[in-house]
């Protein structure tokens, strides 16, 4: 039985990178991060709270992001996450790594029989 890829699940291990990238644009609170990922990916990725919050905790512990309580646009207190310097470095290396890998995967997938 083939398991249909659920729309919205994020490729294993890339969620952290996506969060870092999103926060690199501007500090954001939890719901905003999820929403932004969904929007930018045009609905391909849907991140639910169950993955998001453990990821925040994980990234915070690693020292890649830090949280700060601020007022939202609606004047409510929310925890805003922002990238630290270490997080910026991490994002750079993750992105570079991802690009090399995805380019390589693309090359393999597009290979014609003559090249193999």
Report residue 4: phi and psi, to 5°. Answer: -65, 135
Nearer to another protein, 39 or 100 (CB): 39
Rg of the chain on CA atoms, in Å? 17
H-helix or E-strand containing 7? none
d(CA 38, CA 28): 14
User: Least Å distance between CB 101 and another protein?
Assistant: 23
User: Least Å distance between CB 115 and another protein?
Assistant: 42
User: Least Å distance between CB 100 and another protein?
Assistant: 24
Report residue 89 as tokens: 């470095």
Site residues (vs another protein, CB under 8 A): 29-32, 35, 48-50, 53-54, 56-58, 60-63, 72, 74, 76-79, 86
């Amino acid at each position: 039985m083939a398991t249909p890829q659920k729309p919205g699940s994020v490729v294993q291990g890339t969620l952290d990178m996506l969060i870092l990238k999103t926060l690199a644009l501007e500090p954001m609170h939890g719901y905003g991060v999820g929403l932004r990922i969904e929007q930018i990916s045009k609905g391909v990725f849907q991140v639910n709270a169950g993955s998001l919050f453990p990821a925040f905790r994980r990234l915070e512990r690693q020292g890649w992001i830090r949280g700060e309580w601020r007022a939202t646009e609606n004047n409510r207190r929310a925890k805003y996450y922002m990238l630290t310097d270490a997080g910026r470095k991490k994002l750079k290396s993750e992105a570079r790594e991802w690009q090399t890998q995805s380019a390589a995967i693309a090359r393999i997938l597009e290979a014609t029989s003559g090249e193999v």
